[in-house]
Structure 1
Amino acid sequence: MKGNGKVLIRYGTAITATAYTVGGFGCIVSWTSPALEHFKNNSTDFRMTTDEISWIAPLLPIGFIIGYLIIPMIINRFDRKWILVFLALPQIASYILIVLAKDIISIYVARILGGIGYGSGSSALVVFLSEIATQETRGIFLSFHKMFFSLGIFFIMFLSTYLPYYYLNFTIIATMSFFALAFIFMPGSNYFREENEREEEMNMMLKLSEKGKISNLKNDISKETSGIKNDTIEKVSFNFKIKESSFWKLVTVRANQRALIIVILSASQDVLSGHTIVRYFSHQIFTYNESFLTPAKSSLFLASIKITSAFICTQVIERVDRKVILFNTLFLGSLGMGIIGLFFFLECFKVDVSYFLWMPIFGICLYEFMLTMGIGNFVNIYLGELFPHNLRGLAITICKVTSEILSFFSILMYQIMIGLVNTCVIFWIFAATNIILGLIILKITPETKGKSEEEIQILLNAK
């Protein structure tokens, strides 16, 4: 019973923290659509021009990037729990400022403030979840990140269908405040981390005792795990302070180099396989000639697909090897993109597509289902698994900023290419990019399911 109680505490802490941090992240991203419609209808107490309204959406990613850059400066100085609690203040304050806004500047400030809060919070959450989880639940907890992000998007889409703009904002404030206040009473990451370290030591001793080589293997493991540090000390400790920094350790230690390459390639695959385009241009993709789904229904349907996929992933992530999941979702996701491309190819050559109207919807749902279960989810899993706990904050920042930059250029190139080539070419490029990057990641990434931090570092350090 006592063991079950501890498990429930871990799950309760993970769910509560993820609900308001990443669920809120999904809310603030999805909030843009109903809010812009409200502003364009001149339904506010103050007037806004079209140019002023056009700045509301792009200010959020600017806030995200600032938030990502803040995390490395604070993540190793305070308990992760209290960082998440503190970051709830700008998150909730951004919505309060929107409700009280009397001019466009207040909306701008709210968007940047919310971006900072959620950018920092979502990054800190990856570190927090990786520390409170056991080896058996680490993948599940890190999968909550994607699931609650999708729930946040669906939450706003659903509420905006039935609630007026101001009631929508009040509902968000009340919901996020409830989870943030509940999280204050949950244990911190230090409590769970100390318990995990004791369990890992006991498991390691048990494994070693079964082989009858406790003393020798303890020394071997000590050499392997400290070898990473010793290599760094021998190679870079020339009395230069920069060579003792987290960044230097991240780019000079073999295990960290490999981990960084893996997460950057994972983030690149997530963006360049078409995910960003589907997120921002799903209405255009769904509203092709004779489409039988309205943009609103298509968005809700797609959000439901993502939630279902993310939930299934939490059920299988610790039962099936990571690389098996990645391999299968890789090819099925590319198949989805290929099907979309095939439809637009047929349409381009004036083929009667009346019997194939299902293809874009099926293709995009297949792609999103597989991406959510696969690389879209594994970016956060690998960020939480592949790095030593003191380097995760910096690694997350590099990965997230890289993702934002690639997203910007992806959107820019899509809008340029859509006028130069047929739509089918673009989606086939997405499918090919997904396969190429996915195969590279599968080649260089070790299997991490059920492995301790020390075991993962040894695997990454292996030639």
Structure 2
Amino acid sequence: MFKSGTHRQVFATVAASMSIFISGMWLGWPSSVGEKFAKHQTDVEVTYDELSWIVCLMDLGNFISPVFAGYMMDTLGRKLSIVVLGPLFIVSWLLTLYVPSIWALYGARLMAGIGKGMSYTVVPVFLGEIAGVKIRGALGSVFTIQLSSGFLFEVIVGPFLTYRTLNKVSAVMPVLFFLMFLWMPESPYYLLKKGREAKAAKCLQWYRCDSEITSELHQMDVNVQKEMENQATFYELFTNRKNFKALMVVVTACIAQRAGGISCLLAYSPLFLPEPAPIIGKFEYIMIFATMLVVVNFIGLALVDKVGRKPLLIFSEVSSGLITFTFGVYYFLKDHAGLTSFTWLPYLCHFSFAIALAIGVGFIPVVFLGEMFPVNVRSHCSAIASITMALASFVSNKIFLVISRTYGYYTMFWGFTVVNFICAYFAYRYAVETTGKTFQEIQDILEESVKNDDRQKSKAKQNDEVKTICCMKQL
């Protein structure tokens, strides 16, 4: 069936990341059914206040599940922690079909959020551990392509189907995911961590489609033994400067991804995009926006292992900052100078933001997450990253309308600009390049970068002491 190890790794990546596709479907679901709720075309009567809770409960579920998921994947394994997402998502969709009540919708969205948080925690680690060095970045970017594709699916299909038909079609996807991923082998890294060398060798042979894996398996085992010398606790993340630096790089990238504007653009575009829309309708532009998130991710997939993670991340964050700044200028002039023309500008910004996000910051945090941390703390870092994204998304979504209605849309867009520029500077200053590097090489690079930071601080301190002495002599 599979002609090479690359084909097997790609299939495993697609199968595992289908859980992210389902999460993307749940992200796009409110956009598809919101109008149906308003027109009373559903099994449940929903007010606007209840609809807002339906939307936000997914972020809440996403917030509470990562720590549990991190513990689960270290205890039960990466594979089983992903497999259980199938029944979880199946039940969430069945609730929308067979329990016609607002509380069932609350429960469904909460379960969807729990599944999303678990997916964001476990899947990046699994993908980073099964992928070969040369294609690890490309496989990691599939994660975000699946999320955008799920959102696009709901946005495009939803308007043409009834409420129940849409939910029935959506319920098929977790069944397919469960059947596809159930047959995937476990991560060799996890098996080595548990001391199951023979099983790890068998799984690695499957993923590489090669019987000659002795050297790679030995290197994996050396890495695992070295990394497991330290206790796997959250405390280890903050006391080990190398791990802490990597964590801060990932966390700031996650903040840029979710608090840099995308969460609010996905949720509130119909509210802030001006009328009339140029050439085509407003919702057609939203479909184009979702399409670009998918299409440009493929470009990022092609570039990430050639251009590098760090350059793409910085370019993406700076571009996003410039676009949200332009957004803000338009709405500032509209509110304070009575601007009535240039209604095409926010649509151009809307379209451009999808490109800027998808080319880098939309997927690179996931790539970093799967390759920058030693195996003893990888699950903890993944949990923190998932919580960070959930919290950033929840906060930005909750405050967007309040601040925008009080102080104007430009206030929030300029806030996004500040987030993007600060995160871009942080990436420029502290991120390390991981393209084409083994896990051990990445750890060595991080170790050396920490030593360089120490040398720079020491040099700066010496210069300050010299300046102080000179000033005292002059006095």
Identify which of 397, 404, 422 aligns with 2:390.
Answer: 404
1:449 equivalent to 2:448? Answer no
8 Å CA contact 1:225–1:454 kept in 2: the answer is no
Distance in 2 of aligned mates of 1:334 and 1:345: 16
Q: What whole-Å deviation, never above 9, does each CA across 1:141-187 have from its counterpart, x for those lacking one?
A: 11011111000001011111221111111111223312321222233
Is the contact made by 2:256 and 2:361 (CA closer than 8 Å) also made in structure 1? Answer: yes
Q: CA deviation at 1:278?
A: 1.7
Structure 1 position 188, deviation (Å): 2.8
Count of matched residue pairs: 430
CA contact (8 A) 2:66 2:387 kept: yes
Post-superposition offset of 1:134: 0.8
Q: Distance in 1 between matches of 2:156 and 2:377?
A: 38
| Distance in 2 of aligned mates of 1:270 and 1:148 | 16
Cross-structure match for 1:183: 181
Partner of 1:449: helix, strand, or coil? coil
Q: Which deviations, in whole Å up to 9, do the C-alpha atoms of 1:221-272 show, x marking residues without a partner?
A: x8x9988776x5xxxxxxxxxxx44212211112211111111111122233
Aligned to 1:68: 66
**DSSP 3-state at the match of 2:436:** coil
Deviation, 1:366, is 1.6
204, 228, 235: which one aligns with 1:248: 235
Match of 2:245 in 1: 258
Distance 2:61 2:214 in 1: 38
2:84 aligned with 1:97, yes or no?
Answer: no
Assess if the C-alpha contact under 8 Å between 1:91 and 1:118 holds in 2.
Answer: no
Equivalent residue, structure 2, for 1:214: none
Q: CA deviation at 1:29?
A: 1.2
- In 2, distance between residues paired with 1:322 and 1:107? 39
Cα distance change of structure 1 residues 200 and 266 upon mapping to structure 2, 3 Å threshold: farther
- The offset of 1:8, in angstroms, is 0.8
Assess if the C-alpha contact under 8 Å between 2:232 and 2:376 holds in 1.
no
In structure 1, list runs of 5 or more residues that go unmatched. Answer: 206-221, 233-243
8 Å Cα contact 2:64-2:387 kept in structure 1: no
Counterpart contact for 1:335–1:363, Cα < 8 Å = no
Cα distance in structure 1, aligned partners of 2:297 and 2:214: 28
CA shift, 1:461, in A, is 1.8
SS in 2 for 1:187: coil
Contact 1:92 1:176 in 2 (8 A): yes
| Cα distance in 2 for residues equivalent to 1:317 and 1:260 | 20
Partner of residue 135 from structure 1, selected from 129, 133, 136: 133
The aligned residue for residue 296 of structure 1 is 283
Aligned to 2:288, what secondary structure does the other structure show? Answer: helix
When the two structures are superposed, what TM-score results if normalisation uses the length of structure 1? 0.84
- TM-score, normalization by structure 2: 0.82
Change (3 A) 1:330 1:34: closer
- What's the counterpart of residue 400 of structure 2? 414
Q: Is the 8 A contact 1:306 1:368 kept in 2?
A: yes
Partner Cα distance (2:257, 2:100) in 1: 39
Offset at residue 455 of structure 1 (A): 0.9
Identity in percent = 25
- CA distance in 2: counterparts of 1:49 and 1:229, whole angstroms: 52
- Larger CA deviation: 195-204 vs 390-399: 195-204
CA distance in 2, matches of 1:377, 1:262: 14
Q: Aligned-residue CA RMSD in angstroms?
A: 2.8
Which residue of 377, 392, 412 maps to 1:391?
377
Cα separation, partners in 2 of 1:460 and 1:312, compared to 1, 3 Å: same
Q: Does 1:268 align with 2:255?
A: yes
Residues 27 and 152 of structure 1 are in contact (CA less than 8 Å); yes or no, is this contact kept in structure 2? yes
Deviation digits for residues 391-414 of structure 1, max 9, x if unmatched?
222112112212222333323443
Question: 2:8 is aligned with what amino acid?
Answer: I
Look up the match of 2:418.
432
Distance 1:421 1:83 in 2: 44
Alpha-carbon distance change, 406 to 352 in structure 1, aligned in 2, over 3 angstroms: closer
- Which residue does the alignment assign to 2:356? 370
Q: Which amino acid aligns with 1:12?
A: F
- 1:87 and 1:117 in contact (8 A); partners too: yes
Distance in 2 (CA, whole Å) between partners of 1:137 and 1:376 is 18
1:139 Cα deviation (Å)?
0.7
Supply the distance in 1 between the matched residues of 2:52 and 2:411 (Cα, whole angstroms): 30
